[in-house]
Chains A and B, each alone.
Chain A
Amino acid sequence: MSTNPEMEALINQKLDELLPKKLEALLQEREESKTPSMTIIATKGTLDWGYPPFILASTAAALGWDVTVFFTFYGLQLVKKDISDLKVSPLGNPGMPMKMPFGPDWFKSINWNIPNIVQANIPGFEAVATGLMQQTIKNNGVAGLAELRELSQEAGVKFVVCQMTVELFGFDHADFVDGMDYVGAASFLPVAQKADVNLFI
């Protein structure tokens, strides 16, 4: 077969010019038509740490994303039927402001810097702190955790639960809300692999 070197060079040059642009346009088109997706690993079971997974999951679902949340270890607390008893502890948590949700403004703005040794020795300190946090949440028009969870499920967020930790902590499937899959890491990881956003909370 005889080839014309000049012709071949010309074709190659033309292809080098055109192909990258064509490819980029195709990739962009594919990117835009793809439904974004997110997976979250929820590992914490306190009132404060319960918020990020449900806020992000429900919002992503509202934006039209496919969302899967994998609940494991203490995150199992977040999918129990009744989550009104979740607590928050300021003990050993120096990042948590301790402010009163009532009284005049000057009083509300005080940050009560209570030493750990005191917090640890007052019976019921955690319960009081949790009560104050719940009142603050209410005062600020922030949704309740159970409401956010319900909105997430309504919006099609998929909940999957780590079966190993269910057994480890002696839970029963009947302890948890309906509509969940009980799986292992091997089932979750392939979903996470395909997701655009992966969060560990």
Chain B
Amino acid sequence: MNFDKELDARGLNCPLPILRAKKALGELTTGQVLRIIATDPGSVKDFAAFAKQTGNELLSSAENNKEFEFYIKRK
């Protein structure tokens, strides 16, 4: 999937991945996509809730090798 910005949140724990993602999204323009890689298992539900609450669209959420990958489109 194409993306415009990438955020490496590996090794970070709640709530840092969300806070950094919010900041990174702020640097994008409407319609641009942020890719996030995280290792916090709680981030799967947290990014879904974050997207729902903020109106930014969670395009995909996947796990491979204990790493979580998210694509979020800026509102």
User: How far in angstroms is the closest Cβ of chain A from B68?
Assistant: 14
B75 CB to nearest A CB, Å: 10
Contact with A62, one of B11, B40, B50 (Cβ below 8 angstroms)? B50
Interface size on A, residues (CB 8 A): 13
Taking CB atoms and an 8 Å cut-off, the chain B residues in 28-64 that contact chain A are 39-40, 50, 53-54
Closest Cβ of chain B to A102, distance in Å, is 18
Contact with A along B4-21 (1 / 0, CB 8 A): 000000011111101101
Cβ A63 vs Cβ B14 within 8 A: no
Residues 127-171 of A at the B interface (beta carbon under 8 Å)? 140-143, 148, 151, 155
B55 to chain A, nearest CB (A): 8
Report the interface size class on chain B.
10 to 19
Contact of B50 among A58, A63, A142 (CB under 8 A): A63
Given A151-B19, A155-B19, A155-B22, check contact A63 B13 (CB 8 Å). no
Provided the pairs A141-B11, A155-B22 are in contact, do residues A63 and B16 lie with their beta carbons within 8 angstroms?
Answer: no
A86 contacts chain B at the CB level, 8 A cutoff? no
Separation in Å of the A128 CB from the closest CB of chain B? 24
Contact check, B54 vs A63: say whether CB atoms are below 8 A apart: yes
Contact residues in B for A140 (Cβ distance below 8 Å): 13
**Known contacts A62-B22, A155-B22: does B16 contact A143 (CB below 8 Å)?**
yes
Q: Do the beta carbons of B19 and A62 come within 8 Å of each other?
A: yes
CB pair B12–A141 under 8 Å, yes or no, is: yes
Q: Once bound together, how far apart are the Cα atoms of A22 and B19, in whole Å?
A: 38
Taken together as a complex, chains A and B put the C-alpha atoms of A58 and B16 apart, in Å, by 9
Distance in Å: Cβ of A154 to nearest Cβ of chain B: 8
Q: List 20 A-B contacts (CB under 8 A).
A: A55-B14, A55-B15, A58-B15, A58-B19, A59-B15, A59-B18, A59-B19, A62-B15, A62-B19, A62-B21, A62-B22, A63-B50, A141-B12, A141-B16, A142-B16, A143-B12, A143-B13, A143-B16, A151-B19, A155-B22
- Interface positions of B (Cβ within 8 A of A): 11-16, 18-19, 21-22, 39-40, 50, 53-54
In the complex, given contacts A59-B19, A62-B19, A142-B16, what are 8 additional A-B residue pairs having Cβ atoms less than 8 angstroms apart? A62-B21, A62-B50, A63-B50, A63-B53, A140-B13, A141-B40, A142-B13, A151-B19
